[in-house]
Amino acid sequence: MGIYLGINIDHIATIRQVRGTDYPSLVEAALLCEKSGADSITLHLREDRRHIQDADVEILRGKLTTKMNLEMAATDEMIAIASKIKPQNCCLVPEKREELTTEGGLNVTSQISKICDICIQLKMSNIIVSLFIDAQKDQIDAAKQCGAAVVELHTGHYANATNEAQLTELERIKIMATYARSIGLQVNAGHGLTLGNITNIAKLPEIVELNIGHSIISRAIFVSLGTAIQEMKNLMIDARQ
Ligand SMILES: CC(=O)[C@@H](O)[C@H](O)COP(=O)(O)O
Ligand SMILES: NCC(=O)COP(=O)(O)O
């Protein structure tokens, strides 16, 4: 089975926000991503608006030719925005104001009734709901119970680990991807993936889509955005063969 690549463009918005300029253009970047092989565009509208802005979500919704995957916190404000903009996919992620980046998965087990309600509301807007969770059985079961169609397994711990510890994380993701698939969930994965650590994750046959941003945007400094995307996609496809 094939494997899809979603490009996270938050990090392009970060460059713009740090100077308050109107460049680099997120529309130009997103369209170039799509032209270069991205299967979807991921953007995280953080509560503190540190990179993606509300207007970006609105404008990109009318321009993307693939799919928009809107990452957002499980808050009333974000649900209202998603219900208005209607991206094809919404991924609920945990957020801490002070964090440098997303540190772990959403704790679904501790807020089942709230996440259930959000899934119902988003589904009413024809949005496919994904939950960004750690590769843990109780979180996967809770995601299923809440009615999410997709889980995105957080690969940050795998990406940050080395040697034996990384293999242990890989095994955990592998077992949990198989389990999530067996109970009817679509399995995506992402966070911290690079050209150096992608192959073992992309080899897992249950994984449908990988969302990658930071390492691709960083690599683009040296080889162009289009080439950086193609390099990653080629590695993913090679891993599947
Ligand atoms: C949920 C996730 O993994 C991405 O949204 C990632 O967090 C994007 O980068 P920032 O953490 O810099 O917003
Ligand atoms: N959901 C993960 C994502 O969108 C990309 O994360 P990163 O590659 O920027 O760490």
- Listed in sequence order, the residues at least 6 apart from 96 whose beta carbon sits closer than 8 Å to its beta carbon are 103
Q: How confident is the model at residue 97 (pLDDT cuts 50, 70, 90)?
A: confident
Q: Which two tokens stand for residue 177?
A: 């991807």
What's the average model confidence in pLDDT over 147-165?
98
Model pTM? Answer: 0.97
Average pLDDT for the chain: 98
Which residues carry out catalysis?
44, 71, 191
Catalogue all structural domains in the chain, each as residue range(s) with its CATH number: 4-240 (3.20.20.70)
Kindly report, residue by residue over 52-75, the tens digit of the pLDDT.
Answer: 999 999 999 999 999 999 999 999
Smallest Cα–Cα separation from 210: which of 178, 179, 175, 186? 186
Residues with CB under 6 A from ligand 2: 8, 42, 152, 190-193, 211-215
Euclidean distance between CA atoms 179 and 210, whole angstroms: 18
Q: Residue 56 annotated as binding?
A: no
* DSSP state string for 150-210: EEEEE-HHHHH--HHHHHHHHHHHHHHHHHHHHTT-EEEEESS--TTTHHHHHT-TTEEEE
Euclidean distance between CA atoms 58 and 193, whole angstroms: 27
Ligand 2 atom nearest 93 alpha carbon: 1
What is the SS3 assignment for 11? Answer: helix
